[in-house]
A and B are shown apart, each in its own frame.
Chain A
């Protein structure tokens, strides 16, 4: 279980507890948090669950798999802090993680 803070582009914060084994994307979708579309349902086939993660968290997150950066190329305003939230699996280590939503997904 990890407490995850989802921050909308307008600054609105949502803090929810997400079970281990779910993804950051699922944590948002299951709790009706706006800003993450996840059109493809988590199969790393689109770039609509794009979030930014602050630099101090980069090394603590599960590493990017092959293909994640390729999908991020197709996201809205990606940068070096960008991740696909469907690829971040929740574990106790992620307790306290904040993710920032882009202005839009599509």
Chain B
């Protein structure tokens, strides 16, 4: 069990700056994110896109913004728990017990939900029949590529993940690549390589096809694909892989007893606390009259939520407002003289 003053759910810009504010006022925190990297939507959706409305930063990319935020919280040495989704939240004697997908447990008086539009999850096949093979022979990520050796593998998708795995697995497996259109969005060199492999009959390439059905009882036997004109084909397959990118889902947050307004959590604007004591929501996931889904609003919300956390983390102390320019205590926390 990890004891901390606050658990931040979501390592996007809002969660990172809230961590900074917690550090400034002398609190500890642990940051959990379902992605394998820090940065949330900024890194997953638009790392290279320029942002023009960060105060005092005329232009920066999503990646630059995140790198600067990471730099800014370095002095506090907070822990990140990546590839972990917060699964359960239960109340125990004025503390929250937070449990992640891998079974990590935190005990904390404060949980700050900075979850954007929810956690990123792979988009799955629309076909119902794929569900019963989910995680065994229908996969959306690859952990151990040796399982595909000498097997038939059907790969769906047109981006880098689909192309890279097709190229990689074509060395040891019989690979079919299926994509809904003629064009691929992967790197040009990979697209070229795919065309070569197809011409040499090392892989089977099916463009303008999508999945129709997954065949097999108990074990997967094959996959049926269809063209838009209604023509269908059955391909032999031991494994079916889907690489359609990531979608954002609210996930378990919906089960924590919080008030919800569509996919957002109503908060008060004094400290961004939700209807549950000690649970705060900031950034895109919170809503209140006048809410703007801007990164700068998330920063403000995080600063106020951090002060809200202080009350529960240090019930016997009085919060004292200080400026970073003038406070020696804060300078000590930042490790500057």
Q: A70-B185, A73-B159 are in contact. Are A45 and B41 (CB under 8 A)?
A: yes
- In Å, the complex CA distance between A45 and B248 comes to 12
Q: Are A106 and B247 in contact (CB under 8 A)?
A: yes
Mark each residue of chain B from 148 to 161: 1 if its CB lies under 8 Å from any CB of chain A, else 0: 00000000011100
- B246: nearest residue on chain A (CB-CB)? A74
Q: Which residues of B, 167-182, contact A by the 8 Å Cβ criterion?
A: 179-181
The verdict on B255 contacting chain A, using a C-beta distance below 8 Å, is no
Mark each residue of chain B from 167 to 205: 1 if its CB lies under 8 Å from any CB of chain A, else 0: 000000000000111010100000000000000000000
Q: Which residues of A, 33-54, contact B by the 8 Å Cβ criterion?
A: 37, 39-41, 43, 45-48
- In Å, the complex CA distance between A70 and B187 comes to 12
Q: Are B245 and A73 in contact (CB under 8 A)?
A: yes
The verdict on B228 contacting chain A, using a C-beta distance below 8 Å, is yes
The verdict on B61 contacting chain A, using a C-beta distance below 8 Å, is no
The verdict on B54 contacting chain A, using a C-beta distance below 8 Å, is no
Partner of B46, one of A43, A48, A79: A43
Q: Are B41 and A40 in contact (CB under 8 A)?
A: yes
Q: A41-B293, A69-B181, A69-B183 are in contact. Are A46 and B248 (CB under 8 A)?
A: yes
- In Å, the complex CA distance between A103 and B41 comes to 25
Tell me how far the C-beta of B206 lies from the nearest C-beta in chain A, rounded to whole angstroms.
15
The verdict on B218 contacting chain A, using a C-beta distance below 8 Å, is no
The verdict on B45 contacting chain A, using a C-beta distance below 8 Å, is yes
Number of interface residues of B (CB under 8 A): 25
Q: Are A80 and B228 in contact (CB under 8 A)?
A: yes
Q: Are A39 and B126 in contact (CB under 8 A)?
A: no
Residues of A within 8 A of B246 (CB): 74
- In Å, the complex CA distance between A70 and B181 comes to 10
Q: A39-B117, A70-B159 are in contact. Are A76 and B46 (CB under 8 A)?
A: no
Q: Which residues of B, 238-272, contact A by the 8 Å Cβ criterion?
A: 244-249, 263
Q: Are A45 and B45 in contact (CB under 8 A)?
A: yes
- In Å, the complex CA distance between A47 and B245 comes to 10
- In Å, the complex CA distance between A32 and B167 comes to 45
- In Å, the complex CA distance between A73 and B244 comes to 7
- In Å, the complex CA distance between A63 and B108 comes to 52
Q: Choose among B46, B159, B180 the residue with the greatest number of A CB atoms under 10 Å from its CB.
A: B180
The verdict on B123 contacting chain A, using a C-beta distance below 8 Å, is yes
Residues of A within 8 A of B263 (CB): 37
Q: Are B247 and A48 in contact (CB under 8 A)?
A: yes
Residues of A within 8 A of B183 (CB): 69
Tell me how far the C-beta of B34 lies from the nearest C-beta in chain A, rounded to whole angstroms.
15
Q: Are B245 and A45 in contact (CB under 8 A)?
A: no
Residues of A within 8 A of B180 (CB): 73, 78-79
Q: A73-B180, A74-B123 are in contact. Are A46 and B228 (CB under 8 A)?
A: no
For the complex of A and B, 7 pairs with smallest distance between CB atoms? A74-B245, A70-B185, A45-B45, A39-B117, A106-B247, A73-B158, A74-B244
Interface, chain B (partner A; CB < 8 A): 41, 45-46, 49, 117, 123, 126, 157-159, 179-181, 183, 185, 210, 228, 244-249, 263, 293
